[in-house]
């Protein structure tokens, strides 16, 4: 009985120590290709080229399928108008609500269920 308890404690410790660390899944910089605008928000949809472990698969409004998609809203004058490297952070609805306008739209266009990020800087050649 004592051996089973020891094994459970060992498994729990291994799971907690070796389990997924959310910080590793959140990149500071992404290389991306612009897909287009999300219909019901100011977010721009980007297919992530690097790193490869970020984003979700979607089918865009025109029927084209994409993998590893995130959405980015600009901050501090960062323009999201071309492919390149974007320094990002996770979007916080409370802190970042002033970064974009609420858009009235048809229920036909629901927001895409992809990670939301804030674009802090942009570069054409490498991570800013």
**Partners of 31 in beta bridges:** 50, 85
pLDDT score of 85? 94
Q: What is the pLDDT of residue 21?
A: 41
Report the helix count and the strand count for the chain, using DSSP H and E.
Answer: 2, 6
- pLDDT the model gives residue 77: 72
Per-residue pLDDT of the chain (128 residues; tens, 9 = 90+): 444 444 344 344 444 344 444 444 678 999 999 999 888 788 899 999 999 899 999 999 999 999 999 999 888 777 788 899 999 999 998 888 777 666 677 666 778 999 999 999 999 988 87
pLDDT of residue 23: 40
34, exposed or middle or buried, with CB in 10 Å at 0-12, 13-18, 19+? middle
Distances (CA, A) of 50 to 54, 67, 84, 117, 119: 8, 12, 10, 15, 15
On whether the CB atoms of residues 103 and 42 are closer than 8 A, the answer is yes
Residue labelled with tokens 């916080």: 92
pTM for the model stands at 0.74
Position 100 scores a pLDDT of 65
């Amino acid at each position: 009985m004592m051996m089973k308890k020891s094994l459970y404690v060992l498994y729990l410790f291994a799971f907690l120590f070796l389990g997924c660390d959310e910080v590793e899944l959140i990149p500071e910089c992404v290389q991306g290709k612009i897909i287009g605008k999300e219909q019901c928000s100011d977010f721009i949809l980007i297919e992530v080229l690097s790193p490869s472990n970020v984003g979700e698969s979607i089918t865009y409004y025109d029927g084209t399928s994409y993998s590893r998609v995130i959405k980015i809203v600009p901050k501090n004058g960062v323009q999201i108008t071309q492919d390149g490297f974007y320094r990002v952070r996770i979007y916080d609805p409370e802190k970042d609500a002033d970064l974009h306008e609420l858009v009235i739209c048809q229920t036909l266009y629901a927001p895409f269920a992809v990670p939301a990020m804030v674009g802090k800087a942009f570069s054409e050649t490498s991570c800013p």
